[in-house]
């Protein structure tokens, strides 16, 4: 079984530019999550998709962040325009169902905004 795949693994952009992160969940996993870890701090929840629908986006920092999951397969997270405080590691995770099944995390995308 292929794991959760994230692309790119690293991205360095200048303040004001746009970046799009991609996540391919494990096949058949309806639940997809985005998390972020800012330097040395806790991993924080951003949002949750069930298939193509946003179930919970309470963790999204502001309207510069836009997440989509067209067709209920892969997901993208766009940051536009990027700010310095957006730097961090963005993780995607997927699970089969809400109760009892573990979260499977990707290796993350390290975003650096200069």
Partner 1 sequence: QQQVKQSPQSLIVQKGGISIINCAYENTAFDYFPWYQQFPGKGPALLIAIRPDVSEKKEGRFTISFNKSAKQFSLHIMDSQPGDSATYFCAATKNNQGGKLIFGQGTELSVKP
**Interface positions with partner 1 (CB under 8 A):** 4, 31, 33, 35, 40-45, 48, 56, 91, 93, 95, 97-99, 101-103, 105-108
Quick one: CA dihedral 45, 49, 102, 4, positive or negative?
A: negative
Angle at 61 between CA 56 and CA 62, to 5 degrees: 100
- Residue closer to partner 1 (CB basis): 11 or 31: 31
Rounded to whole angstroms, the Cα distance separating 76 from 104 reads 17
For the CB of residue 18, give the shortest distance to partner 1 in the complex, in Å. Answer: 24
- Residue closer to partner 1 (CB basis): 15 or 35: 35
43 forms bridges with which residues in the sheet? Answer: 37
For the CB of residue 15, give the shortest distance to partner 1 in the complex, in Å. Answer: 26
DSSP 16: T
Look-up of token digits 């310095």 = 84
For the CB of residue 87, give the shortest distance to partner 1 in the complex, in Å. Answer: 17
- Residue closer to partner 1 (CB basis): 56 or 85: 56
């Amino acid at each position: 079984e292929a794991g959760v795949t994230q692309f790119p693994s690293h991205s360095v952009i200048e303040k004001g530019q746009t970046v799009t992160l991609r996540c391919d969940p494990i096949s058949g996993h309806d639940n997809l999550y985005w998390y972020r870890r800012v330097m040395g701090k806790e991993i924080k929840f951003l949002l949750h998709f069930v298939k193509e629908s946003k179930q919970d986006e309470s963790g999204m920092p502001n309207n510069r962040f836009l997440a989509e999951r067209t067709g209920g397969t892969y997901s993208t997270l766009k940051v536009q325009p990027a700010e310095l405080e957006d730097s961090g590691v963005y993780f995607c995770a997927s699970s089969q169902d809400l109760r009892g099944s573990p979260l499977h995390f990707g290796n993350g995308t390290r975003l650096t905004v200069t």
